[in-house]
Amino acid sequence: MLLIIAATTLAASFISGLSGFGFGLIAMAVLPLLLGIKLANAFVSFCGLAIFASLTIPLRKHIAWKALLPLLAGTALGVPIGVYGLVNLPEGLLLKILAGFILSYVAFALLVQNRVHFHMDRRWGYLAGFVGGIISGALSAGGPPVIMYCDSLNLGKKGFKATLQVYFVILILYKIPLFFITGLLSAELWRTLLYYSPLVAAGTAGGVLLFHRLSDLWFRRVVLILLTAFAVIMIVKS
């Protein structure tokens, strides 16, 4: 079991270092089965905070604040609903709906967006943040709606990654007081974080090294491939 947790943590950290997202989606596809949903949610959140904060620093000049603000406003409403409400709904149903949404966007991006210069109106950021906040509050895997919104804005790989990092950092900081209220900040959480933190650092560093070698075109292809893979994981898991 320890080897599976270690391998999952390392892989999720590498993907996150490369793409700027994916830690929660990959980790939460496996870790709840081994750690339990509550410990896994808190563990993934704190690991994500360390990863995204470290990735923000070198890319801070590329943050698209106009795209970020609607996301944060929507998320502020969505996270409490996720933490206090949706944890009681069938997880399988939630994942299937989200997976269908992801696959629909990937199909749109491949069949339409590459041929037509389409930009999602920034007002959609409120909805993306709200939905992402709900899913993140419940499952720590609320990235896809936000990723799809940012991807549609054609921010370039640095702008895309920088904007996501700031969003995720603020999101997790917002969740931590709710974790405290619900009793998720346990001694077992701190032990788990201490034990696996070296793997988080190593995986993230490896992903960042590969990130610098990718062109904008290949980076966007990686984003779409990962979104598709995550959708399949959600369907299989549910």
**What CA–CA distance (Å, rounded) separates 28 from 13?**
12
Maximum distance among all Cα pairs of the chain, rounded to whole angstroms? 52
- The pLDDT, as a whole number, for residue 13 is 92
Q: Count of CB atoms within 10 A of residue 72's CB?
A: 18
- The pLDDT, as a whole number, for residue 118 is 57
| Residue in 136, 144, 204 with CA at minimum distance from that of residue 171 | 136
Q: Quick check: 51 and 23 in contact, CB under 8 A?
A: yes
pLDDT 10s per residue in the chain (238 long)? 888 899 989 988 988 888 777 787 778 777 887 888 778 888 999 998 988 888 888 888 888 888 889 999 999 999 888 877 656 667 677 667 767 767 776 776 676 555 555 566 778 889 889 988 888 877 776 777 888 788 778 788 788 888 888 998 998 898 888 888 878 788 999 999 999 999 999 999 888 888 777 776 776 677 778 778 877 876 776 6
**Burial zone of 2 (CB within 10 Å; 0-12 exposed, 13-18 middle, 19+ buried):** exposed
- The pLDDT, as a whole number, for residue 23 is 83
Which H or E run contains 126? helix 124-139
- The pLDDT, as a whole number, for residue 229 is 80
- The pLDDT, as a whole number, for residue 138 is 76
Token pair, residue 62, equals: 């590329």
Report in angstroms the alpha-carbon separations of 91 from 35, 61, 228, 232, 233: 16, 38, 19, 15, 13
- The pLDDT, as a whole number, for residue 194 is 94
- The pLDDT, as a whole number, for residue 198 is 93
